[in-house]
């Protein structure tokens, strides 16, 4: 398969359709699930899909080390290339990684302002015209709503899409509120434009749209997370 077909037939198009074209520039999206369900894999898949479209992506990580994240990208790319029998995989790979930068922050004592300052330095100083920023390992438990508001303002000002992952911790109390909104994220819902949750149901992981800009949310999507490859796949 050549690259253009691969983009067109990506199961991520289903996700986009279900959220009215995806989060879009200036919007903030959150992917939430308990630990170990596959958030990072999903985010890397979403980022890789953008890279295939020649859209530059900054991957911000608060917890994991850089080499660990690079391994994620390598693995996800290999799975996609294998699954879709991508032609010239090596050349495509070399081409797309030029559009990816990984930035690692130590969240203890790392203020949102400083992170945003560094991101701006990368975009303006480094002339890295990012289309999207992926933020993995952000601790929503420690975050103030004003922190997320700063990120949102940054996304609007720089005209780019922001994706966060949120790790939901099991501590005896219910994870989700009545409408499917994770309790952890309730204080931040004002800033979140698109919210998607992953929930393990037996062998499958359900993907559910909980918030879709101002539109009624689509609910459970005809997508699943393949437990072997951790890729988002159509349910057929």
Partner 1 sequence: MTTTIEQMRNIGISAHIDSGKTTLTERILFYSGKIHRIHEVKGKDGVGATMDHMDLERERGITITSAATHVEWGGCSINIIDTPGHVDFTIEVERSLRVLDGAVLVLCSVGGVQSQTITVDRQLRRYNVPRIAFINKCDRVGANPLKVRDQLEEKLKHNSVLMQIPIGLEDQHKGVVDLVEMKAVYFDGRDGEDIRVEEIPEELRAEASQRRNDLLDAASMFSDELTEAILEDRITSDLIHEGVRRGTIARKLTPVFMGSAYKNKGVQTMLDGIVRYLPNPAEVENVAIDLDAEEEADQNVVLTMDPNAPAVLLAFKLEDGPYGQLTYIRIYQGRVEKGTELVNSRSRQKTKVGRLIRMHADHMEDISSADSGDIAALFGIDCASGDTFTAPELNYSMTSIYVPEPVISLAIKPSDKKALDRMAKALNRFTKEDPTFRTFVDHESHETIIQGMGELHLDVYVERMKREYDAEVETGKPQVAYREAITQKAEFDYTHKKQTGGAGQYGRVIGYVEPLAEGVYEFVDEVRGGRIPREFIPSCDKGFKAVVKKGDLIGFPVTGVRIVLTDGQYHDVDSSDNAFQAAARGAFRQVYRKAKPQILEPVMKVSVEGPTEFAGAVFGSINQRRGIIVSSVEDGNFSRVDAEVPLSEMFGYSMQLRSLTQGKAEFTMEFLKYGRVPAAVAEELQKQHLEKKAAEAK
List residues near partner 1 by CB under 8 A.
Answer: 66, 70, 97-98, 101-106, 109-110, 114, 118, 120-122, 124-128
**Minimum CB–partner distance for residue 101 and partner 1 (Å):** 5
Q: Which residues contact 144 (CB under 8 A, 6 or more apart)?
A: none
Q: Report in angstroms how near the CB of residue 102 gets to partner 1 at its nearest.
A: 4
106 versus 146: smaller Cβ distance to partner 1: 106
Q: Which is nearer to partner 1, 44 or 101 (CB)?
A: 101
Residues 6+ apart with CB under 8 A from 135: 60, 62, 151, 162, 163, 164, 165
DSSP 35-63: TTSSHHHHHHHHHHHHHHTT--EEEEESS
Q: Which is nearer to partner 1, 77 or 105 (CB)?
A: 105
Residue 106 or 171 with smaller CB distance to partner 1: 106
- With H, G, I as helix, E, B as strand and everything else as coil, classify residue 92: helix
Q: Which residue has the tokens 């490859």?
A: 229
Tell me whether residue 122 or residue 233 sits nearer to partner 1 (CB atom): 122
Minimum separation from the CB atom of position 76 to partner 1 (A)? 17
Q: How far is the CB of 186 from partner 1 (least distance, A)?
A: 30
Q: How far is the CB of 117 from partner 1 (least distance, A)?
A: 8
Nearest alpha-carbon partner for 140 in 116, 99, 112: 112
């Amino acid at each position: 398969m050549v690259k253009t077909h691969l983009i067109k037939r990506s199961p991520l198009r289903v996700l986009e359709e279900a959220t009215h074209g995806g989060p879009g520039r200036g919007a903030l999206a959150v992917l939430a699930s308990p630990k170990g369900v596959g958030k990072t894999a999903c985010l890397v898949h979403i980022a890789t899909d953008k890279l295939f479209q020649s859209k530059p992506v900054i991957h911000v990580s608060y917890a994991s080390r850089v080499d660990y994240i690079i391994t994620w990208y390598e693995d996800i790319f290999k799975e996609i290339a294998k699954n879709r029998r991508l032609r010239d995989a090596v050349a495509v790979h070399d081409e797309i990684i030029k559009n990816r930068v990984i930035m690692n922050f130590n969240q203890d004592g790392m203020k949102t302002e400083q992170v945003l300052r560094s991101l701006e330095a990368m975009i303006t100083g480094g002339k890295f015209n990012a289309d999207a920023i992926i933020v993995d390992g952000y601790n929503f438990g420690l975050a103030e709503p004003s922190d997320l508001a700063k990120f949102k303002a940054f996304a609007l000002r720089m005209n780019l899409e922001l994706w966060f992952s949120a790790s939901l911790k099991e501590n005896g109390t219910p994870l989700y509120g009545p409408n499917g909104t994770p309790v952890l994220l309730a204080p931040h819902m004002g800033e979140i434009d698109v919210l998607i949750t992953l929930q393990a149901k037996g062998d499958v992981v359900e993907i559910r749209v909980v918030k879709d800009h101002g539109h009624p949310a689509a609910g459970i999507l005809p997508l699943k997370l393949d437990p072997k490859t951790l890729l988002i796949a159509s349910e057929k």
